[in-house]
Structure formats: structure tokens, C-alpha cells
A and B are shown apart, each in its own frame.
Chain A
Amino acid sequence: MSSSSKDESMSEMEEQENQKKENGVLDYIMSLESVPTKLPPHLELLRTRVLCNNDAPQHTDTIQYSGAYAALGVDNSLRLDNFSQNFKVEVKRLTDDDMEFDMIGIDPSLANAFRRILIAEVPTMAIERVYIANNTSLIQDEVLSHRLGLIPISADPRLFEYPDNAGDDRNEKNTIVFKLHVGCRKGQPRITVRSNELKWLPNGSELIAEDAKPSASSKPKTFTSFACSQESVPEISSNPIGPKYSDIILAKLGPGQEIELEAHAIKGIGRTHAKWSPVATAWYRMLPEVVLLENIEDELADELKEKCPVGVFDIEDIGKGRRRATVARPRDCTLCRECIRGGKDWEDRISLRRVKDHFIFTIESTGALPPEVLFTEAVKILEDKCERVITELS
């Protein structure tokens, strides 16, 4: 009885085994996830990396469309919580004048929007109107005014308002007044007029407007109407206003020449004129990724290390006197493609790639605002644009 039962159980097992082989494929299919969340690795590589080949880069466009992989059943849309989880910022370097940070998990359209706003739409203060009382120097009036306009002024533009109209109402809330009065006496050697000669006038203009009607008050009418001194604002008195750099050469005077002028600075954006741009420049690049597709050893490793001008590769010992090349500093890669030049074998050994959603941002500020504040202001400006469109649509 027991043997027959064993036989029966054996035959059942055999039957089950046979069935398993037939249904094996079916089982594998049924055990897959019902909604595949990840693409197969070769497609994921094309979706997230730019392949920089010797002749031209490939797969440079980001695949944004939510239904791009609908045939595979993978959802490409950006859920907001996905974005919040994956988005990271890492600050690499931060000084008073410039900063370098990494943004990971963001699309190039947004990174470019921030860069464009930083260059053209974050407001600053810059000299716009120059009232020249006396200019006997060799520098023409308009050239001198142009140079004055380009001087970076260390004033927080958030404390000031835009001027309303073409030019009548200049008060302490929208204008900063500077005075320049330099002269070179006869017999003196030539002098250089630097930007530290620009003196800030917190009480407003001192030049008297010529067409003023004699008013009842004793104070003559000047070109600005300051109601109170700008020094009374606590943020301004703690950081006095003036040119950011004191050694900018404005003009050179010979004996007997003199410059006397008054300059008014107002708030503006870089789109109107580049003097109002708060950054020396702002740029980003994608994170480079250098992958060795095969083991590069001995003489080839030495040759590879020699080829790279910025020192991306390093040699490591793997014992028995043999050496192997490793990628030590991929972040320094400038994509000069020296390592894949020299024939098809080098192209097959190394793959140069860029990560599509990892941006290394560098911001160099001219000094009005520190770079981290500039970036925050730029993001706020993009939010304001969205709000404006929403109110227009409703």
C-alpha cells in the first residue's frame, strides 16, 4: 500500500513537473508586476544619459511626454511626490561672491529658466541719469556716463521700488544719488579717478533745478524730492551704500581738468540693459560620467592616463606587477574627447556620458546680493510669472 501510494505520489510529482515545464513560461509572465515601474536597463540608459560620441552627442533630448513608454506599460509622468522625493541640492562651494551647487532630479527646461531669470530678470540698482555740471576732462560726457552706469552698486534692490514713469517723481524710495567732484590742479601730476571718489548723498540731490519757480519755502527745488534721509532706514544704515569695488578706474585727469557731476541710480532688470544684471554670469553644465567598458591594463592604462588633460583617470595596482586604469575624478571631465580619439578601439573601450537631470550650477554675483539670495529671488520670479498667468486665465 505504501509503495503504491509512493508510486502515486511520484507520478503526481512527475505530472506536476511536466506541467511546470509547460506552464513555466506562463508562470513567469504571471509573476511579473502588473504595472511595470522601471524600464529595461538599455532604455533607461537612453532616457537618462546623453551619449557623447566622437562625432556628435546622441539622445540629447529629454523624453518628457507622459505617454512616451505607454506601449511598454511604463508611466513616464512626473508625479509631484516623486519629484519631491528625488530632488536634491548639494552645495559644493559658497563664498560672498560666487557659489557652485548641484541640482539633481530637475529638468533642463527649469534649469535654463532659472539661468535666464538670473541673468535678465532679477533687479538691481544701477546709475541711469547723470547730471554733468562740469567736465573738462578728455573723456566725453556720454562715455563717462556709460562707464558710471556699469559700476556695480552694493545696495539691496529689495529695499527700493521701481520708478513709476519717465522721470518726474524721484524720492528716497526709488533713487540713490551719488556725487563726483574731482579736479587736477595745474602743476600736479596726472591723477586717476577711481570709483571710491563717488560719494553717496543720503539726503538727495544737491543740484538746483534751473526751471524751478521761486517757491515759498526757503529750500530750492532740486532734481529729487527726498522726504527723509535714506540713512534713517535701518537696513541701509547698517550696510552703507556705495560702489562695491573701490578701485574701478573711471577717468584720468591731466593738470587743469575737472569733473563735477551727480549720478542717480534706479532699479531695473537686465533685460533693459546689461548694467542691471546682478550676476557676472551664471551657467550650468550636466554631470559628466566616464565609464570604462572593458578592463584597461598595463601600457594601455598608462597611455590613457597620459591622454587626459585634466587628470580624470588614475592607475591602481591589482597585484603581480599589473596596473589597471580607474576613473578617479569624472566631475572634472571637460568633454575634450581626447581619450576616445585615436581609432575605433578607444571608442569601444570608453563611454563618455552626461547625466540628463544632474546640473552643476555656478553663479558669480557682481556684489549687490549674495549668490544664494540671487537664486532664491530667481525662483520667486518664476513663481510670480506662474501666478500672473493663472490670474490671467481665471
Chain B
Amino acid sequence: MEHGSHSDQSKSTFSLADEDHTFANSIRFTLNQDPRVTFCGYSIPHPSDNRVNIRVQTTGDPAREVLKDACQDLMLICQHVRGTFDKAVSDFKKSNTMESDDSE
């Protein structure tokens, strides 16, 4: 899963199975935003294999921890998106039902 060296934990490549651009591009975005990261990128070795290689190089922290933190950040972003979206939909529905009541 992780291809790196035991001596230098700050640089390694993570090979994820059953993933594609959907997840890899989003995690690349959150990794880029982390100030500890000096380099991050992803590649798909072959389009027929469902596999993604994510490369992370950091300023000293172990790459595994940084990737885990990025996944956590992405989860928090998704939860916030979901909450905001649900609230916006319920506000819209409420304002619409109020309008139809007024018109009646």
C-alpha cells in the first residue's frame, strides 16, 4: 500500500486500489492546502486497472500522517458541505410553501 523507505518517512507513494480520479483529485487538493507538504500528485498507471498512486513529500512529518490528516480534512469539508446543502434546501422549501400559502 505504501511504498517508501524506512529511514526517510517524509516521502512515499501510496497505492490505493478501487479508486480513481474522483477521490484522488479531491485528496490532492486537500494535500496541497496543507503547509507541511512540499510535493503531492497522483497518477493512474493504467486505465484498465482500478488503481491510483498518490505521491506525498513533506517537510519532515511522516507522509502517512499527513495523508491521514488530509483525509480527515476532506471528511470535515464533506460534512460541512452536506450540512450547508441540507439547510439551504430546507430554507428554500419553507420559503416556497410560504409563498404558495400567501397566494392561496
Contacts and interface: CB of A to CB of B under 8 A. Distances in A.
Do the two chains belong together in a single complex?
Answer: yes
Interface of A: 64-67, 75-78, 80, 83-84, 87-91, 94, 101, 103, 106-107, 109-110, 112-113, 116-117, 121, 372, 375-376, 379-380, 382-383, 385-387, 389-390, 392-394
Contacts of A382: 22-23, 26, 74, 78
Contact of B84 (A77, A88, A94): A88
Contact of B75 (A103, A110, A386): A386
How many chain B residues sit at the interface, stated as a range, is: 35 or more
B98 interface: no
Given A66-B37, A383-B78, A393-B67, A109 B25 contact: yes
A385 B19 contact: yes
Nearest to B35: A66
Contacts of B79: 383
Nearest to B40: A65
B61 to A, nearest CB: 14
A106 B22 contact: no
Given A77-B33, A84-B80, A116 B21 contact: yes
Interface string B73-92: 11111111110111111011
Contacts of A387: 71, 75
Contacts of A394: 68
B34 interface: yes
Contacts of B16: 389, 392
B43 interface: no
Contacts of B23: 113, 382, 385-386, 389
Contacts of B3: none
Given A80-B77, A372-B89, A112 B68 contact: no
Contacts of A88: 84
Nearest to B72: A390
Nearest to A99: B89
Given A80-B76, A109-B28, A376-B86, A66 B22 contact: no
Given A88-B84, A94-B89, A64 B26 contact: no
B55 interface: no
B25 to A, nearest CB: 4
Contacts of A106: 81
Contacts of B88: 89-91, 101
Contact of A393 (B33, B68, B76, B93): B68
B9 interface: no
A64 B32 contact: yes
Contacts of A84: 80
